[in-house]
Structure formats: structure tokens, C-alpha cells
Structure 1
Amino acid sequence: MNHERTPQYYGDYLGIERLLELQKPLSLKEGKLIAHDEMLFIIIHQAYELWFKQILHEITACGEVLSKPEADDDGPDMNVVVHRFKRVVEIWKLLNHQVDVLETMTPLDFLEFRELLHGASGFQSKQFREIEASLGLRMESRFRPDYYKHTELGGFNEKDCAEINEFEQKPSILQMVERWLARAPFFQEEFWSDWSEISAGSAQNGASPFWQRYRTLYEQSLSERDDKPDLLGKFDGIFFQSGWGPFRPAALRAALFIMLYRDEPLFRLPFALLNSLIEIDEQLATFRYRHLQMVRRMIGTRVGTGGSSGEQYLQGAVNRNYIFKELAGVITFLIERCHLPALPSRLHRALRFNFNDR
């Protein structure tokens, strides 16, 4: 330990004095705060932006690992990625609960200062748009993409708009995960040459014989209530033909395989990664829905302070702006664990921690 280092002081290290000077209510007149709840409104949104900064910090670090040509699926790198994405999930849970505090402000309390906010809107949060872009939500996938990055009243200023555009040009977590899944090695021929069920099905469209066998088992698992032709058509399209959204068939087969055999030791981290991404999407959807509910409560169907259609715009975003919906949709094609085909012995050994083989 370096005993000559200048000791830190709590307030100086955290910049508390500067931080506490950043709340400047517009209803403050001659030293008196006219609208009491404007202080709450400011602090809540500043707290959101601080947490957005932390989320971007975590996503950027995860991207640095996932962008490697060969990410170690069962090593320290993947463990760190999973740990940080789980942290992002917990932060979003906190942000969703923070709405409860904001909702202690009544509609009349909000009206005391709402007109002072004309032109400003949560829509203009640059960091929130950067989070969406870095995860993989592109402009063309959004609800009302024509409205998303406008620079008129209620939109972004030119600087923020340019920086969001720059973020959208970078590889996203969605793209990195798709590439990581597509290069999964567990369908290499060397692992399947001794498979006992190889005669039960043949390769289809370049896929392992496993998938023809699995398709048969999936068909058998469907009940009379299911639309069998529709589901089997989707199965073939997603896993053998065109893929789904930004995911190629090979990537979706890998995602389904990981979900099916998640109890295998070497699949625990990959499964945790996929599950964390689905959870992040769910928390983002909850965040948008809580925002929608709050707007309904505060202003009803009136136009938002930034000039948007308020409730209508937010409802569209809730329904449309999902990022990892294809990963979540893969769950449609699971079968019961007791009906899963036994893995070939070579692959089974490769998916375990084989200390005794050394």
C-alpha cells in the first residue's frame, strides 16, 4: 500500500457539491420553489441518466468480449459477460421500480410546472437511444422510424442526432451474438459420427441429421390445440431456410440446441447469456409500459411536452420495439426434456468438464 497517497474525501471523490448544484427547477422564483414536485421530477430523471451511463458502460465492456473472433464459451470472458448482463437486468428492475416514486406526484402536481417543459421530452434522452442502438434496435425496426431522429421541436438537437447515428453504425450486441451462435462448433461431423440415432433422419439443407430427428419429435409433441401445419412450416422456415429476422438458420439452431441441453456443463454460461438478453428485452418492455401507464395517468390523451402523440406513440413503442424477440420466440419449438434425443458420446464428453481425461 502506498502510504504517501493523498487521502480521499467522500464528497470530493464523488463530486457531491457539483452534483447537488445540477437541479435547477424552472419554477424557482426569487429563491422560492413554486412547484414543489418539480424537484422530484428533475432528480428522478437525472438518476435515470446516471444509470443509463452505467448500462452503457456494461454493454460496451460486453461488446469488447463478444467481438473477439473466438469467444471462450466456458471461460472467464463469457463468465464476465454473463455477470455484467445480469447486472444490467438488475439495474433495469431498479429503474422500473423508480417509476413508483415518480407516480407519487399527482396530475395536478405535474400541471403546476408542465408548461415550463415545452419542447423537452424523455424522447430526447440520447443515452436511452444509444442503449437501444448498442443492443441492436435499429431505426428501421422501430415504431414510427420517421419520427425517431427528427431535429424539429421535440426532437434531438443536431449534435445528439449525429452521435446516435454514429452509435447505429457500430456492431451491436445482437449482431455479435448472432455471429457467436452461427459459428457454434457442436454440429461438426466429428461429434456425430457415432450417433445411435443417425439412421432416424438424414441431413436437411446442410443441417445435422439431429434436426430431422428433432423435427419429428417436435411434431409428435404438438397437441390437437396447436396449428400443426403452421408451426411445422415456421420450424422449417426458421431452422432450415430463411432464418428469422436478423438471425440465420444456423444461429437459431444453435440457440435452440443450447436451450434444450442447457444442463450440460459447457452450455450453462451460453444459456445464461441468452436468458439474460431475453430478460433485458423484457425489462425494457416493462420500462416502456410503465412509462405509458404513467403518461396515461398524468396527461391522459393530451399531446406530450415534446409534441409527440403521447399515449399513442408510447403504445406503438411498447408493441414494436423489441430487440431479442427471435431468441425468445425459439422457446416455441422446445419439447419436454424426457423426449430429448441422447447426444452422441463424443459430443457428450466435449460438453463436460473432463478432468479425468487429462
Structure 2
Amino acid sequence: MMKNERPPVYYAEYLQLEKILNAQAPESVKEGVRADDEMLFIIIHQTYELWFKQILHEINIVRDIFAQPNVSDNAPDVYNAVSRLKRVCEILEVLVKQISVLETMTALDFLDFRDFLRPASGFQSIQFKIIEALLGLQYQSRHGQEYYLSQLSETDRLRVQAVESETSLLSLLNVWLERMPLAEHHNAWATSHEKDWGFWQQLRHTYAKDLSEGEQNNLAVFDQLFMTQDTYPTERRLSQLASKNALFIMMYRDHPLLQLPYELLNLLLEIDEQLSLWRYRHIHMVGRTIGKRVGTGGSTGAGYLKAAAESHMIFKEISELTSFLMPRHQLPQPPQEVVACMSFASSR
């Protein structure tokens, strides 16, 4: 065996600690003003950006998986995507908890150096904007479009605009869901006493029986989304077929082949939830720290964050499908042909 000529790796050099640990340059020091908490403020936000970089790394791996012409449903593609999205969720939980560290800085502590930061703002984080865009948040759905690119340098503006034109994870998910044929096995679902009924007719019949008086509008929405193509809302990001298959996965998740797809859909909802939690924690922190002042970048501060939290739900169409779930014992029983398709190995 040939001797390994590769030079040894040293911890500090591998992590480039000299660059990282010397990358904090408080503005208060430059001004000769004592502001002991500016170091914390810088390190917290640098840490955010490092985690954003890791999130982007994971999202792009998942996008590459679903950009393939054929995605393996059992292994390793969907499993790999689920693992990556789990990691994203864990990172987002860390980002939410990290706000607790920043909240140890009081409003008076922040005022010691706040004015030195203008017009820099967290709103200028292009990595966060890229995360939202690659997940599937569209420009026209953004709150505060007048601020969205206006505070960025020309280089960063062009970079974000370029990402806006890329295919998002939500778009790729739509294509993947459309490929799953199980929800369209109409003939296989017909029964002797309801021989003209396919799966969706049976599901509607069962769903309608258990609706309360206040839920009757749900049946109209069910008809609009699932019964005919003519009534399907054109503004929805998921196609009718993709929505049908997503609901089918949620209802029959206990079958082997649907367990990973269900976990994937659930993780996307978890990402939305964690992003919302991060925004709401941010809202309360900003309220405690600057009150009704405008942000250093010129936004309305807490007001902007609250409106964004309410409108920036990326996977809302998936979460809304839970309105049409029902207890397992009420679901139409799959015929053997469909059960075989939902198993790892078909019966011989």
C-alpha cells in the first residue's frame, strides 16, 4: 500500500478559526463608545447566517432529488429527502431557541449601539430570502414588496432575483405528487352496491355524513378541489391531481409505501411552523427591544414582522388538506389491487 502523502489536517486551519474568530468588528469600538452587548449581537447574527447556509445546502440536495425524472419512492431518494428535511427542522428549532440568548440583551443595552448600525438590517439577509424563495414563497405573495429588494446592494439584488426564477421545492413537489397514481384508481375502488362510484365519490359520501352544521362549507370546498377539474381554483400552486395524491397519502399513511411520503409532507408543514415560530419570537423580541420604533433598515419593525408571519406560509395548501381527513375506520377500504400498490412487495 502506498504511503498517504496527504498533509495532516490541523483543527484551527480546517475550521478557518482565524477568519471566523476575527470576523467581529463592533461599530461602537470604532466610535469609541462602550457597548458591551454589541459582540453578542454580531455573533448571534453571524451564527444565523451560518445556519442559513446549512439550510440552503440541505434544501438544494432535496431539490436535486425531486428534480430527477424518476424518484425512488422507497429507497434511497425519499428517505434521503426526509432525513435532510428533518435536519432543516432541527436547525430551525435551534434558531428559535437562539432568540432567548439575544433576549438577554435589554432595550437599553441595544440603544448603546443601535444607531451605529443604520441602515444595516436583518431584512438585508439575502440567504433568508433565498431560503424562502427556494422553498416556494413567490414574490407576489410577499408582504412589504416595496422593501423586499430596495435595501439590498446591486450584487445581492441580482443574486436574489436570479434565485426567484429557479424551480422551487414546492413546484418540484407538485410534479412528484402528480406522478403517484393511487388516488386515480377509480375502477379498482368500485363496489358491488356502488358500482358506479369511484374513490372520490365514496370519500365524499362518507365525509358529508359527519360534518357539523358549522362545517357544511367544507363540503363545497371538497367539491371544488376534488370532484371536477372545472371548479379547481387556478391560483393554487398544487394541481388538482397533486392535491388528491397528497390527501390520499395523509389518509392511508399506515401503508408501507406511503409512510415516507407522509413523513415528508409532515416535515414541510413543520418547516412552515418553525419559520412562523421564529417570526413570532422575533416580533416579541423586537417589541420588547425597540417598541414602536421603525427598524434600522426603515421597515415598520414589529408591524412588518407580524404581517409577514401571517402571509408567508409556504405549504399552506398542504396543511389545508387536513380539513378533509376522517377517522381510519370510516375510510373506504382499499381493494387488493390498491393495497398491493401501497406495499413494498406485491402479492403473487
Report the TM-score when normalising by structure 2.
Answer: 0.94
Instruction: Find the counterpart in structure 2 of residue 131 from structure 1.
Output: 131
Instruction: Find the counterpart in structure 2 of residue 231 from structure 1.
Output: 218
Is 2:233 the counterpart of 1:200?
no
Is 2:167 the counterpart of 1:179?
no
Alpha-carbon distance in 2 for matches of 1:159, 1:202: 60
Cα distance per residue 1:71-121 (max 9 Å; x no partner): 111120111001000100000000000000000000000000000011011
Alignment of 1:93-112 (within 5 A): 93-112=93-112
Describe the SS at the equivalent of 2:182. Answer: coil
Is 2:154 the counterpart of 1:158?
yes
Give the unaligned 5+ runs of structure 2: none
Match of 2:322 among 311, 318, 331: 331
Instruction: Find the counterpart in structure 2 of residue 212 from structure 1.
Output: 201
Is 2:345 the counterpart of 1:354?
yes
Match of 1:293 among 278, 281, 284: 284
| TM-fit CA distance, 1:227 | 2.8
| TM-fit CA distance, 1:201 | 6.7
Alpha-carbon distance in 2 for matches of 1:290, 1:104: 14
Q: Is the 8 A contact 1:92 1:280 kept in 2?
A: yes
Q: Is the 8 A contact 1:289 1:318 kept in 2?
A: yes
Is 2:243 the counterpart of 1:242?
no
Alpha-carbon distance in 2 for matches of 1:341, 1:156: 54
Cα distance per residue 1:268-290 (max 9 Å; x no partner): 11001100111001101111111
| TM-fit CA distance, 1:215 | 0.6
Across the aligned residues of Structure 1 and Structure 2, the Cα RMSD in angstroms comes to: 1.8
Is 2:165 the counterpart of 1:169?
yes
Q: Is the 8 A contact 1:302 1:309 kept in 2?
A: yes
Assess, with a 3 A threshold, how the Cα gap between structure 1 residues 114 and 338 changes in structure 2: closer, same or farther: same
Match of 2:271 among 276, 280, 287: 280
Alpha-carbon distance in 2 for matches of 1:322, 1:198: 43
Alignment of 1:39-58 (within 5 A): 39-58=39-58
Assess, with a 3 A threshold, how the Cα gap between structure 1 residues 217 and 145 changes in structure 2: closer, same or farther: same
Alpha-carbon distance in 1 for matches of 2:30, 2:144: 39
Alpha-carbon distance in 2 for matches of 1:146, 1:201: 56
Instruction: Find the counterpart in structure 2 of residue 24 from structure 1.
Output: 25
Alpha-carbon distance in 1 for matches of 2:252, 2:28: 59
| TM-fit CA distance, 1:187 | 3.8
Report the TM-score when normalising by structure 1.
Answer: 0.92
Partner letter of residue 139 of structure 1?
A: Y
Instruction: Find the counterpart in structure 2 of residue 206 from structure 1.
Output: none
| TM-fit CA distance, 1:135 | 0.2
Assess, with a 3 A threshold, how the Cα gap between structure 1 residues 29 and 127 changes in structure 2: closer, same or farther: closer
Cα distance per residue 1:294-335 (max 9 Å; x no partner): 110100111110011112111110111110011011001101
Give the unaligned 5+ runs of structure 1: 204-208
| TM-fit CA distance, 1:194 | 4.5
Q: Is the 8 A contact 1:198 1:210 kept in 2?
A: no
| TM-fit CA distance, 1:186 | 1.4
| TM-fit CA distance, 1:4 | 2.9
Match of 2:252 among 233, 238, 261: 261
